[in-house]
Amino acid sequence: MTGRGGGRFLDTRPLRGSRAFRDLWIGTSVSQLGGQMTNVAVLAQVWDLTGSPLGTGAIGIATALPMLLFGLPGGTLADAVDRRAVVRATTAGQLLAAAGLCAQAAAGNRNVLVLLALVAVGTGCGALGAPARRTLPVRLLPGDQVAAGLALANVSFQAAMLAGPALAGLVITGWGFPAAYAAQAAATAVSVLTVLRLPAMRPEGATASSSASASASGSSGHRPRRGGWRFVLRRPTLWGSMATDLSATLLAMPVALFPLVNEVRFGGNPQTLGLFLSAVAVGGITAGLLSGTVTRRRRGGLVQLSAAAVWGLALTGFGLAGPLWLALGCLAAAGAADTVAVITRSALVQLETPDAYRGRVSSVEHVIGVAGPELGNFRGGLLASATSAPFALVLGGLTAALAVAAVSAANAPLRAYRTPQPAPVSPPLPPTGPTGPPP
């Protein structure tokens, strides 16, 4: 989104002005499209192998555990070595995992553990490289274009969520699981090629100097490498914002229940399964394109709390919905609420965190943002296997809304948080000396 003097919706200056950012954006966008196709393929293949919501819920464990194990070390690695090298190596690892998924499907694998192990390998590589990848736009763009670059990245992600699942449904129906995994492998190969063109990006600035200074003095009180979780817990706005996100995703994540809902209510058609995920993306991309109406509001904490509550209530509606159009409408509303919550949370975290701690805090935020939904999928699958998918959806949505209300009641600083006003710009001083005005 742009402010005054820019377009009404998206500011495309980063794509026009920086070849390196354009390469990164293209590679990431293509890779995300392949990743969304793979999400549907894995979900459908696990359901085909197990026929159980507990099985599809286990995908969450296969994804969350590598994220928890490698996400935070990835942040430390990003502040220690060339970030381009980290992204290159981890993206190559994801390519190998994608090739493995394609091979197991082509070989007719019937062991769900093999499939989940390959998912875990790909997720682990992504988790290790994610903190370094998140730092790249700031290094590739001028300061006044960073926000525009992040907005473009968000729109490409939402577009991948919109197109990827529907495309996966068509590919799986026409050519089977191997073709869907082959598409991801090709997309990841494109990402590897674009990353190879990036310039070297060794860590620099406050984080490195602060760490070196602390090491020299023998003090650990100000070392970002150790301060991520501690810093979050000491700031009510930060822990409240992350607790809000965790409440929404851990208690109400619905993706693991999609195959069961699809089979019980809509005949089990893979295209309908893809539509569920695409409906979430429709709401998300619409909210992203209109996000200026949110980003101009200074009450960021209150906006995030409200959006998280809407997410829970919308998924409650999905659990109760009968007609397909109503179910898709509830998912679109949930997707819009999720995008609003993510945008406001990300801005709050960056603005409330001093620069020396942003790497560690961003790593904590990333782990919560990715592991929370996957653990939520496992929770949903476990509950649905003991009861039913509609019950799990309704209970999860209502519980999430109540948990968000509890965070709001307990955290007055988050409710009252306002985005800082920009510092006033001083007028330029008149020139002095021989070229200045006469006395």
Between CA 74 and CA 363 the distance in angstroms is 8
CATH top class, domain 225-419 = mainly alpha
Q: Which among 208, 199, 205 has a CA at the least distance from the CA of 84?
A: 199
Between CA 376 and CA 123 the distance in angstroms is 17
Distance from the first to the final alpha carbon of the chain: 46
pLDDT at 407: 93
Q: Which residue has the tokens 């929770």?
A: 379
Between CA 345 and CA 351 the distance in angstroms is 10
Domain ranges of the chain: 14-199, 225-419
Whole-Å CA distances, 239 to 228, 263, 339, 365, 428: 11, 39, 19, 10, 41
Between CA 299 and CA 348 the distance in angstroms is 10
Higher-confidence residue: 439 or 16?
A: 16
pLDDT at 171: 92
Across 175-179, 206-210, 265-269, 425-429, the highest mean pLDDT is recorded for 175-179
At a CB cut-off of 8 Å and minimum separation 6, what does 224 contact?
79, 207, 210, 211, 356, 357, 359, 360
Among 73-77, 183-187, 236-240, the least confident range: 73-77
pLDDT tens-digit readout, 161-203 = 778 887 888 899 899 999 999 999 999 999 999 998 888 887 7
In a 3-state reduction of DSSP, which class is residue 296? coil
Q: Is the pTM of this model over 0.95?
A: no
Query: What are the DSSP calls for 139-194, one per residue?
Result: HHS-GGGHHHHHHHHHHHHHHHHHHHHHHHHHHHHHH-HHHHHHHHHHHHHHHHHH
Between CA 382 and CA 389 the distance in angstroms is 10
Backbone angles phi, psi at 2, to 5 degrees: -120, 160
Among 96-100, 107-111, 280-284, the least confident range: 280-284
Q: What is the length of the chain?
A: 439
Q: What is the mean pLDDT of residues 71-100?
A: 88
pLDDT at 102: 96
Q: Which residue has the tokens 């998140």?
A: 134
- How many Cβ atoms sit within 10 Å of the Cβ of residue 215? 12
pLDDT at 105: 94
pLDDT at 10: 57
The greatest distance separating any two alpha carbons of the chain, rounded to the nearest whole angstrom, comes to: 89
Does 225-419 match 14-199 at the fold level?
A: yes
Q: Which among 313, 22, 340 has a CA at the least distance from the CA of 158?
A: 340
pLDDT at 152: 76
Between CA 7 and CA 21 the distance in angstroms is 20
CATH code matching the domain that covers 14-199, chosen among 1.20.1250.20, 3.40.190.10, 3.40.50.720, 3.30.1360.20:
1.20.1250.20
Higher-confidence residue: 183 or 160?
A: 183
At a CB cut-off of 8 Å and minimum separation 6, what does 260 contact?
53, 56, 384, 389
Between CA 336 and CA 218 the distance in angstroms is 48
